Amino acid sequence: MSIPSDLDIAQAATLQPMDDVARQMDLPTELLERHGSDVAKIELDAIEAMADRPRAKYVVVTAITPTPLGEGKTTTTVGLGQAFSHIGKRGVVAIRQPSMGPTFGIKGGAAGGGYSQVVPMEKFNLHLTGDFHAVTSAHNMLSAVLDNHLYQGNAAGLDPYRVTWRRVLDVNDRALRNVVTGLGGRMDGVPRESGFDITSASEVMAVLALSNDLPELRARLGRIVVGYTRDGDAVTAEDIHGAGAMAALMRDALKPNLMQTLENTPVLVHAGPFGNIAHGNSSIVADRIGIHGGDYLVTEAGFGADMGAERFFNIKCRASGMTPDAAVVVATVRALKAHSGNHRIVAGKELPPALLEENPDEVHAGGANLRKQIENMRIHGVSPVVCINAFPTDHDSEHRAIREIAESMGARVAVSTHFADGGRGAAELAEAVAEAADEPSHFQLLYPDDASLREKIETVATKVYGADGVDYAPAATSSIDLYERNGFGNLPVCIAKTHLSISSDPKLLGAPTGWRMPVREVRASVGAGFIYPICGDMRTMPGLGKNPAAHHIDVKPDGTIVGLF
């Protein structure tokens, strides 16, 4: 069966007026701030206005360790949200807003796929209501205030060599990774080394996602650490009088965006924190509204269950106080075959022909990864449902192999064809999720607030990743001591590592054992509220490839955008 391109499907969609989408959630339409006919922001008063409504079941969608191509978590999230209407229930979807850097880089869009998409696709991927630009402006406002503080006499005593705050831009631009600011003469500032990250890597983005309301947003912005004195004392955005201006720029960005799927299911699109150095989940504010808008609120966590879901549980749920009722673990035949170690998948290149041949034994060979990710849900007390995200190149015997692996772990499992068939294709999955969500909740955090930072790091490494232990570089040890001395030891941890392995080594497939996790350095996002140990080389400013999507995205004379996919 031939399926039109994602963009063609999206541009042929019949959209409902935003008032009708809001009514599906019993969301008062007077709380909508309309941005054209097909996007609206939701006033924060909706949280209180809907608080007495019944609470939806809270479902997080995660995955096995993905290939570089991704395994369809967003598409599954959207498809599952649509599927609930096919079993007589009301679903609401909450997802991140995509960064325009990857959109113009290798991804070309992140609205889902096939007949399980968020629409209008063009607005979803390009600007939307300007939240990313607000984050960029607020972040760089603090950068400007910081450099001006140094120029105007440095009353806070910042050590120029210990400034940790950089600048951001929502563009893939490797030339800006490392820069020198303040060149040109005395009137042009204090020269120092700095650099740019992509906007999704900004701590301001993580603050946006983890704030429960406007006062908390303002307080978190004030707690952002911009650097340290020579004595090792933290200097914050509040200390240099930059937080108020940031909050003013972020006020409207805190309102979540309302959109819809191809089947007109309500979608809350809000925030887009990086999945490597941040928690990779959409906003608490969106969830606080969506949890009272239907029977099921379906949200997505970035990368595999060892990363996005672990952070959803231990960072986002810790901050929101909301507890999940079920988790969906997306699995694909191609990813499990890749975890067998017999195939190498490279983004932008054709799949190896042997990968497409029928071979259920290879699926079983890679099954350790699925078993470990199911286990990672259970150690948090959450009922897992394995979604077999079906591709046209799959074979029935390979789907049976995944089912056997999941059932051997006592997990529910369903085949889903939501890409080709929309919500109807995910009805079996919706039934399984409904059953899992009805089970008594036993949710638990992995570690307490008062554990030491080393205890928290080692708990995640050993229990979730399967490491034998953790080895700290001298710089990492010094940073941990500095953070605990400054009173940051009560924060949760967000371990920055490769998303291509459960381990910290992208070459280790399946569910590796007998390895130790090396922590190269440790950084602090105090405003966002977590400490992030870094394992390996994390790129916070991507570069464009040889043939990026930017080469193909264009606009026709009638205004129609082409080239997104």
Annotated binding site for ATP: 67-74
Cα 383 from Cα 406, distance rounded (Å): 12
| Alpha carbon distances (Å) from 519 to 361, 474, 537 | 36, 9, 11
| CA 469 and chain centroid, separation | 27
| 446 Rama sector, left if φ>0, alpha if ψ -120 to 50, beta otherwise | alpha
Give the DSSP H or E segment for 460.
none
Cα 291 from Cα 442, distance rounded (Å): 19
- Bridge partners (DSSP) listed for residue 93: 267, 298
Rg (CA), the chain: 23
Cα 103 from Cα 123, distance rounded (Å): 12
Give the DSSP H or E segment for 492.
none
CA angle 91, 97, 103 (to 5 degrees): 125
Peptide bond into 492 cis (omega under 30): no
Give burial (CB, 10 Å; 0-12/13-18/19+) of 229.
middle
Q: Can you read off the two tokens belonging to residue 186?
A: 């005395």
State residue 269 phi and psi, 5-degree precision: -110, 120
User: Which residues sit in the known binding site?
Assistant: 67-74
Cα 493 from Cα 447, distance rounded (Å): 10
Cα 280 from Cα 308, distance rounded (Å): 6
Q: Can you read off the two tokens belonging to residue 328?
A: 């969906």
From 385, 454, 413, 437, select the one nearest 57 (Cα to Cα): 437
